[in-house]
Amino acid sequence: MRGVLVAALVALVVSLLGTPSVIRLFRRQGYGQEIREDGPSSHLTKRGTPTMGGTVIILAALAGYFVAHVVTMKGFTASGLLVLMVMTGLGVVGFLDDYIKIRKQRSLGLTARTKFAGQAAVALAFGLLAVRFKNADGLLPGSTFVSIVRDTDISIGLVGFPLLAWIIIAATSNAVNLTDGLDGLAAGTSAMVFGAYVVISFWQFGNLCEPGAGGAGCYLVRDPLDVALVAASAMGACFGFLWWNASPAKIFMGDTGSLALGGAFASIAIVSRTELLLFVLGGLFVVETLSVILQVAFFKATRKRIFNMAPIHHHFELAEWPETTVIIRFWIVSGLAVAFGLGLFYAEFLSHGGS
């Protein structure tokens, strides 16, 4: 437990105190956000706000994780390092996307094909590595069985697992990217989901199956305590960044942050055997993504729009809700989704005879 607290605190402090320096640096370099011309007119005043703040979140999360290991003198694990690999790898993809936007002074960076290729490379590398590195009990970071709150009986095999990992990681990172459209919306929501995974992973650590034996409600997962360290570090980093990203934002996370956070959620869900539970915990991200899918599909079919604008947070902005009202109400929705997801997780534990 001490390691989890250290990880969260160090990441929080690094993010909270380090972000102002990054804001000053990016302002001097002219790393300002470009704004969509077809977006809400109220966003035009945000043009020039420093972006790529996701670099702070990633560095703070890494600092929290590594300092926690130094303090606790525990060894690194395959599961924790793989999650950080995905988070950092997708952060690099997002950084390139943000940098191109800045250099070319446009709201579009990497082409869709190039961005998807970058996401695929990182996700497939994770998928291939996650079914290696058995521990002393024969457990792997990933599993070839589809999971909800734990593994089901549905096997996808060694070939299907990397493909499933790619789908989950790409879908989640793009969903967070779509949600990152208002000051503090993605950062606040992400902090809640990471907090849920701190609880889930630590609970799994306290209820691990004994080697060679079962137990009421026990979990067959590898390295849950280390996964809790990663989730705590990311949570602390998000909270520290949110101090400066809250409306009116002094810095944006950009694709650097949103792709990295989405990748972290997805990979944590995979190594904790909660792949489908993620879609409940991240319910707001699902709603944002579905709003875009429905808008595009309905417009192609009828040449009419369901929403004023997609993603759905812009719909409410154009309906004249103040930005802060949209953000706070969406945080409430996210909090309810996280609470419901944790409730499902605990109910499933009780259904297996846990107490």
Q: How far apart are CA 117 and CA 301, in angstroms?
A: 29
10 Å CB burial of residue 164 (0-12, 13-18, 19+) is middle
Q: Is the pLDDT of residue 41 over 60?
A: no
pLDDT tens-digit readout, 134-145: 998 889 999 999
Distance between CA atoms of 322 and 346, rounded to whole angstroms? 37
| 30 confidence band (pLDDT: 50, 70, 90) | confident
Position 143 scores a pLDDT of 94
Would you call 74 helix, strand, or coil by DSSP? Answer: coil
Q: Write down the domain spans for the chain.
A: 1-352
**Mean of pLDDT values over 87-94:** 97
**Would the pTM count as exceeding 0.85?**
yes
- pLDDT per residue as tens digits for the range 272-291: 999 999 999 999 999 999 99
Distance CA 260, CA 95 (A): 10
Token readout for 24 is 């000053």
Please state the residue numbers annotated as binding site for Mg(2+). 177, 255
pLDDT for residue 103? 80
Q: How confident is the model at residue 355 (pLDDT cuts 50, 70, 90)?
A: low
Residues flagged as binding site: 177, 255
- Distance, CA of 278 to CA of 301 (rounded, Å): 31
Amino acid at 279: F
Distances (CA, A) of 216 to 204, 210, 228, 336, 349: 12, 11, 22, 28, 8
